Amino acid sequence: MEKLIIQGGNRLKGRVRVSSAKNAVLPIIAATMLGTTPSTLLEIPNLEDVGTICKVIESLGVKVTFKKEKDEIIFDASELTAIEAPEDLVRRMRASFLVMGPLLARKGEAKISLPGGCAIGARPIDLHLKAFEALGAKIEITEDYVHATTPNGLQGSQIYLDFPSVGATENVMMAACMAEGKTIIENVAEEPEIVDLATYLNSMGANIRGAGTNVIRIEGVKELKGAVHTVIPDRIEAGTYLIAAAMAGGDVYVENALSEHLKPVVAKLKEAGVTVEEDIDGIRVVSDGKLKAVDIKTLPYPGFPTDMQAQFMALTTIAHGTSTVTETVFENRFMHVAELRKMGAHIDIDNRKAIVEGVNGLHGAEVNATDLRAGAALVCGALSAEGETKVGRLHHIDRGYDDFVGKLQRLGANIVRIDE
Ligand SMILES: CC(=O)N[C@H]1[C@@H](OP(=O)(O)OP(=O)(O)OC[C@H]2O[C@@H](n3ccc(=O)[nH]c3=O)[C@H](O)[C@@H]2O)O[C@H](CO)[C@@H](O)[C@@H]1O
Ligand SMILES: C=C(OP(=O)(O)O)C(=O)O
């Protein structure tokens, strides 16, 4: 079994470049299915999840060609040959469900396994399905899969999402851009990844306005063509390096980080006593590792991102005083608490609120990544801890961090990956 072995205590110093955003690249790869001519995506990060979504769309007939540069991929969806996504891939990664919108738009039918729950919560898909129904889809749900058909094609509609779900907004946007007539979607997610998807769809010929606000208006078009697109930088990867440097202490410039996308994270780091300087090319963080307690509460964008909650909780474990961390987006996203406790953290949980009593420092321990960001949080904790930490279940981390070990090593961290 592979593990990360981290000797804590090294200060981090230097520059680290953020890759393109996992959560933008996945829906955009699904959206390449909408084009009748090939799309080229540039600066694609090397992530397990990218491999998974590529396999899903290949199984549906898309020809995926990796250019020599490896971070450039051509997607030819001129012929979609299937409407059913392989169950194991959908179960492995929830974002696979994002092929439903494009399949309904291009083929008028889709059969996809239920993505099911995972470590961070139940994660139902009712909002996706309700919105597809509003566009005229007929939905049949069996124990294992969802079968959607469009007997009269997709028709533009007025849709209100009960919660600004990122995935539902993306799925419905992709379906609606080829529906007949106008669609108005209210209470949509406003995340930067939604804006990036809309930018790509518009460059394919779609007519989408309002992405980045809470109402999206779409005028349906008959056909979309492929386009060339560079995906936005990963704000969560950027935030993870900011936290790592804040906790371990040091002076790190996170290149390619867009401060516009990281406002709550930067604000909370400053409140914790960290020096943060923002410019157009990135964000610099300078820290002596002495941190003050802060309270955070996760919310849909532009609120504090749930995908930074675990890493920020790691930071509060060594901040002076009592911090609270409230998770409002997912109902079960505190799996990292038990692992952080093994490293000496003092954390109590009261329903969706974690109360963290800062300790003078964490110590090394044997821990496991329970999900992607939990894994990142443990690595952040380990870099600041006294002694050796072993982190297992690395497949979670591999889903979303491109060259995590290499990037941290170049900042001076003592971290290696071994096969035990
Ligand atoms: C690949 C990707 O982009 N993943 C991100 C996306 O996930 P994802 O798109 O799955 O997250 P959503 O915004 O849909 O989920 C937010 C909340 O809404 C609930 N919900 C969602 C859909 C639905 O039909 N019914 C329902 O009840 C979920 O259970 C959850 O409690 O946004 C999350 C919230 O920012 C992030 O943590 C994930 O990293
Ligand atoms: C929860 C996450 O991803 P996913 O929605 O793909 O599980 C994440 O990126 O932190």
Position 5 scores a pLDDT of 98
Question: Residue 308 C-alpha to ligand 1 middle, in angstroms?
Answer: 14
Average pLDDT value for residue range 176-195: 98
95 lines ligand 2 (CB under 6 A): yes
- E strand map for 202-294: 207-209, 215-219, 228-230, 250-255, 275-279, 282-287, 291-292
Position 117 scores a pLDDT of 59
Position 127 scores a pLDDT of 97
Residues with C-beta less than 6 Å from any ligand 1 atom: 23, 26, 94-95, 121-128, 163, 165-168, 189, 306-307, 329-330
List, for residues 186-228, the tens digit of each pLDDT value.
Answer: 999 999 999 999 999 999 999 999 999 999 999 999 999 999 9
Question: Residue 290 C-alpha to ligand 2 middle, in angstroms?
Answer: 30
Identify which ligand lies nearest to the alpha carbon of 23.
1
- 116 confidence band (pLDDT: 50, 70, 90): low
94 lines ligand 2 (CB under 6 A): yes
| pLDDT higher than threshold 90 for residue 65 | yes
State the DSSP code for 272: T
| pLDDT higher than threshold 70 for residue 139 | yes
Closest Cα to atom 21 of ligand 1: 165
Position 92 scores a pLDDT of 87
For 139-148, 203-212, 285-294, which range has the lowest pLDDT when averaged over its residues? 139-148
Average pLDDT value for residue range 85-107: 94
Share of the chain above pLDDT 90, in %: 94
Cis link prior to 302 (omega < 30° from 0)?
A: yes
- 114 confidence band (pLDDT: 50, 70, 90): confident
**Mutation to probe ligand 2, out of 372, 397, 398, 401 (largest number of atoms < 8 A from CB):** 372
Would you state the structure tokens that stand for residue 341, as one six-digit string? 């406790």
Closest Cα to atom 37 of ligand 1: 307
Position 77 scores a pLDDT of 98
Q: Are 327 and 352 in contact (CB under 8 A)?
A: yes
Q: Which residues have a Cβ under 8 Å from the Cβ of 47 and sit 6 or more positions away?
A: 22, 25, 398, 399, 400, 401, 402
Residue 33 CA from chain centroid, whole number:
20
Q: Does domain 2-19+233-419 have CATH number 3.65.10.10?
A: yes
| pLDDT higher than threshold 70 for residue 242 | yes
Question: Residue 121 C-alpha to ligand 2 middle, in angstroms?
Answer: 11
Asked about 177 being catalytic, the answer comes back as: no
Question: Residue 284 C-alpha to ligand 2 middle, in angstroms?
Answer: 26
Q: Where in the chain is the domain with CATH 3.65.10.10?
A: 2-19+233-419, 22-230
| pLDDT higher than threshold 80 for residue 78 | yes
- 144 confidence band (pLDDT: 50, 70, 90): confident
CATH topology of domain 22-230: UDP-n-acetylglucosamine1-carboxyvinyl-transferase; Chain (3.65.10)
Position 118 scores a pLDDT of 66
| pLDDT higher than threshold 80 for residue 68 | no
